[in-house]
Structure 1
Amino acid sequence: MTAKRLQKELLALQNDPPPGMTLNEKSVQNTITQWIVDMEGATGTLYEGEKFQLLFKFSSRYPFDSPQVMFTGENIPVHPHVYSNGHICLSILTEDWSPALSVQSVCLSIISMLSSCKEKRRPPDNSFYVRTCNKNPKKTKWWYHGGTTRWRLTTAFPPSGSWMHALVGCYIENKNK
């Protein structure tokens, strides 16, 4: 089922990509389970004219399991929900994922997230998170709660954990066990 679904989504992305997005054809020449999508910041936004790349990795459980999605390359957008290592704090990439979603819907959500940004800045916990996180953003447990962020690292604190201070963004728990 995974290969059939990916083939269908690949054709959809090639034939009708979201605005400002194009599939990097070289990325799918050897494998269908890893794609690079080239992205350009939308006109009239803080990211207008900037170019980014999104890396999509699909497990054998796709579409029941969300894809691993992160920014890659030399230009990672400076955004309150994008860490400098490319990890993206976006609920549809984790707990709000549904098999009804697609690569196109993820792309649209990311372009919408960037387009609605009012100030270019990193998440407040960027330095700490980037130093301590797993390379795979799916190994991070994100909690989304209003405009408040609390994070707990199970590797840095006792098993019971200790809540640190409030930050803006989303809850994260590092699963580097």
Structure 2
Amino acid sequence: MGSVSARRLAKELREIQSEGCPVGITLVDASDFSKWLFTIEVMGNSQYQGEAYTLQFRFDAQYPISSPAVQFVVTDGKEAPVHPHVYSNGHICASILGSEWSPVLSVIAVCVTLQSMLASCKKKERPADNDRYVRTAPDNPKKTLFHYDDDT
């Protein structure tokens, strides 16, 4: 882990510990600076009301210059949310995690953005190319060159 990366993650962790997380977001594990886990739950009336999902953040030595690898955790009994931008293996097609990443964004900002993405979903469905993508997807979603479509 690079020193800039470690300093930045230590700062973000201190802020989370002192200020807490926004409603519906819970830090589950941040025992080291390579991987953090959060749960996110959409608050209010939405397609995902009452559902909670685990998000995994993996950091490389270039964080925050380079985005974290973020995905929903998929294990026995735990699925990724059914959403047009979330593959069944937990990979997320969101420009904020790719071409529109900015070092000013924080882990909490990413959690809030993904919480909002779920809250605004009108129809629970998988991406059209889900089966093909999942068969050929790399372990790290950052190795995928997603094509970002504007939902409007």
Say whether the 8 Å CA contact 1:51–1:75 is kept in structure 2. Answer: no
Matching residue's letter, 2:111: C
Q: Distance in 1 between matches of 2:11 and 2:43?
A: 26
- Aligned pairs (5 A) from 1:46-65: 46-65=47-66
1:3 to 2, 6, 12: 6
For structure 2, which runs of at least 5 residues remain unmatched after alignment?
none
Q: Distance in 2 between matches of 1:46 and 1:97?
A: 27
Say whether the 8 Å CA contact 2:87–2:126 is kept in structure 1. Answer: yes
Report the counterpart of residue 21 of structure 2 in structure 1: 17
Aligned length: 145
For structure 1, which runs of at least 5 residues remain unmatched after alignment?
149-177
Deviation of the 1:51 alpha carbon: 1.2
Structure with bigger RCO (C-alpha 8 Å, 6+ apart): 2
1:98 to 88, 96, 102: 102
Q: Cα deviation per residue 1:14-72 (whole Å; 9 max; x = unaligned)?
A: 33312200100xx322x122100011222211111101000000100000000000000
Report the counterpart of residue 140 of structure 2 in structure 1: 136
- Aligned pairs (5 A) from 1:37-48: 37-48=38-49
Deviation of the 1:147 alpha carbon: 4.5
Say whether the 8 Å CA contact 2:42–2:116 is kept in structure 1. Answer: no
Matching residue's letter, 2:95: S
Find the residue that maps to 2:146 and give its secondary structure.
strand
Report the counterpart of residue 30 of structure 2 in structure 1: 28
Deviation of the 1:146 alpha carbon: 3.0
Q: TM-score, normalised by structure 2?
A: 0.90
Q: Distance in 2 between matches of 1:71 and 1:88?
A: 8
The answer to whether 1:79 aligns with 2:75 is no
Q: Percent identity?
A: 49
Q: Distance in 2 between matches of 1:13 and 1:46?
A: 28
Change (3 A) 1:16 1:48: same
Matching residue's letter, 2:88: S
Report the counterpart of residue 126 of structure 2 in structure 1: 122
Q: CA RMSD in A?
A: 1.4
Matching residue's letter, 2:13: L
